[in-house]
Amino acid sequence: MPLTGGQCHGAIIGVRAAIDASSHARAAISMNPCSRSTLHRRKPRALLRRGVAAALALAFALTGPAWAQVRLPSLGESATDGLSVTAERHLGEQIMREVRRDPEYLDDPVLLEYLQSIWTPLVQAARRRGDITPDIDANYPFEAFLVRDRSVNAFALPGGYVGVHLALINLTGSADELASVLGHELSHITQRHIARSVTVGQRQSLLALAGLILGVLAARSSPDAAQAAIMGGQAAAVQGQLSFSRDMEREADRIGLAVMRDAGFAPSGMAGMFAKLEQANRLNDSGAYPYLRSHPLTSERIAEAQARIGTAAAATHNPHFEHALMRARARVLMETTAQAWQRLQDLDKALASPGDDRLAVLYASVLASIQLRDFARAAPAFAEGERLVAAERQPPRRAREWALLGVELAVAQGDAVVAEKRLDALPADGSRPRLLLAAQAALRSNDPALLKRRCETLQSWTSDHRGDALAWSELSSCAERQGQKLRAVRAQAEAHAALGDLGGAIDRLRAGQRLARSGAGKDFIESSVIDVRLRELEAQRRALTDGTRGRGG
């Protein structure tokens, strides 16, 4: 998929590498350089800028300048010359430690659950097909995450991470279209495109460097000849890098289509997504000079996708009837201003367009009202949606998502009684959205027994999901309400650790030790756990610091 902002570094790697060797790290951040029209126009996004800054020293040390041994890998070949599987995993972990602390990183349990319902079958299909080798499977977490951004985008990071912008979800008209994007990005991971890009980036650096050397020699006799030699070397390097990237995009399209088909999604979703991307980019991209683009022209990709689909049988997967509601949720959450939310509240205008999904429009209106804390507007819209769900016998998944929105509304209003009533009507499926909403409802209730029960459920969840920062945060609030001060402090520390903030986690654990010594926190078991976790996190921080120093970072 075409990328913008922080992912644009790869498009100019060939020119910059001769001057700044750390450009190899920029190539490792994304396999999807931006289109020519946005290359110099847009500023880097904060999310990827922080990840790049954190990873530069590590990435350069991992790739190394062994240019004499570098060769251009063929498509499908492992790129061990450039970046090993283990090194790529470490690079991805370091980037994600920064990404998770960025305000644009979004952990919305409801929308993330829906994203996972599409992402997980794709990963499973890639395993069945053999695209995911045992080495990659043992090292990569295969994690998809959300980015609060109004640009239509998705990107793969080193080590098996895929970011999805909310605007992309809003653009898609079906789960099949979203699956086509995720399958494409998954194929970038399984085919080791990031590692291979580092390798070819090293090769192209030699071309640019050769041009500079020729330019210096020619300058003694002719300044014009020097300029021509330098520009020629740089142009050759850029063209080689972009051509290789175009080949990788085509490979990701081809394999991604096969993966989504094997996962049970309709292959027509890929052609439909390309058509929407072409329409969305029409105002910003003239389509000229395709030989300077890192991606094939969208029209070319549409034709290739349609040719590959051929007479393939229709998919028989779950049609994801809730997609329209999740698209509405993404539309609301990607906005950050009161004016935008007020527009989404306006049902008279939103419902005037023929063919709109009425329940999805109501969903967006209620959620926007929650963001504005305008409960007077939210109540009638939710009531109308409830009547619609009951009258039209909505599919179970749509009815469930609407019910979860009802719990979210009651929690925002502070009405624990209504929230519990709506939770009881939901199936006890053990899902993360239901679990977290139940904890939030209990925190607003005056029922100590209910709060204790929710707190114990959260404790069990965090034991199995150590990286769930939001669950740890809710557990801290629950423990604080119950007067369990040490447990609250330790949960705060675990929330920091899950977000990659080792410094913040260590500070909270040390505060827990001081609290235990003062006698305020009389919990021997929790005090012992704090001591053990503090040693573990301090060891992790030392290992990271020593590793960076050892690589000269």
Q: Are residues 94 and 240 in the same domain?
A: yes
Residue 329 lies in a domain: no
Residue 314 lies in a domain: no
Sheet containing 161-165: order of strands = 105-106, 143-147, 161-165, 154-157
pLDDT band at 116 (very low <50, low <70, confident <90, very high): very high
DSSP secondary structure string for all residues of 264-308 = T--THHHHHHHHHHHHHHTTT-----GGG-SS--HHHHHHHHHHH
Residue 330 lies in a domain: no
pLDDT band at 348 (very low <50, low <70, confident <90, very high): low
Q: How far is CA 246 from CA 78, 139, 242, in A?
A: 18, 27, 6
- What does the pLDDT read at residue 440? 96
Separation between Cα atoms, residue 178 and residue 117, nearest integer Å? 11
Distance in Å from the first CA to the final CA of the chain: 32
Separation between Cα atoms, residue 542 and residue 533, nearest integer Å? 14
Q: How far is CA 481 from CA 197, 404, 432, 444, 478, in A?
A: 51, 24, 21, 10, 5
Residue 316 lies in a domain: no
The rounded percent of the chain whose pLDDT value lies above 90 is 49
Q: Are residues 521 and 405 in the same domain?
A: no
Look up residue 240 and give its amino acid.
G
Q: Are residues 251 and 375 in the same domain?
A: no
Sign of CA dihedral 323, 329, 330, 331: positive
Look up residue 550 and give its amino acid.
G
Counting every residue, how long is the chain?
553
Q: Are residues 225 and 143 in the same domain?
A: yes
The per-residue pLDDT for range 475-534, each reduced to its tens digit, is: 999 999 999 999 999 999 999 999 999 999 999 999 999 999 887 667 788 999 999 999
Q: What is the mean pLDDT of the chain?
A: 76
For the chain, the domain total comes to 3
Q: Are residues 214 and 263 in the same domain?
A: yes
- What does the pLDDT read at residue 56? 34
Q: Are residues 424 and 511 in the same domain?
A: no
Q: State how far Cα 546 lies from the chain centre.
A: 29
Q: Are residues 289 and 431 in the same domain?
A: no
Domain containing 80: what range? 5-309
Q: Are residues 305 and 370 in the same domain?
A: no
Residue 21 lies in a domain: yes
Final residue of a structural domain among 414, 445, 476: 445
Residue 510 lies in a domain: yes
Tell which residue, 60, 35, 44, has the closest CA to residue 198: 60
Among 100-104, 278-282, 413-417, 517-521, the range scoring the smallest mean pLDDT is 278-282
Q: Are residues 201 and 83 in the same domain?
A: yes
Residue 460 lies in a domain: no
Q: What share of the chain is helix, strand, coil (3-state, %, to 5)?
A: 70, 5, 25
Q: Domain with 392 in it: what CATH number?
A: 1.25.40
Residue 318 lies in a domain: no
- What does the pLDDT read at residue 330? 97
Contact between residue 361 and residue 351 where contact means Cβ atoms under 8 Å apart:
yes
- What does the pLDDT read at residue 550? 53
Q: Are residues 219 and 102 in the same domain?
A: yes
Tell which residue, 277, 269, 191, has the closest CA to residue 3: 277
- Rg of the chain over all Cα atoms, to the nearest angstrom: 26
Separation between Cα atoms, residue 336 and residue 329, nearest integer Å? 13
Statement: residue 246 has pLDDT above 70: yes
Statement: residue 385 has pLDDT above 60: yes
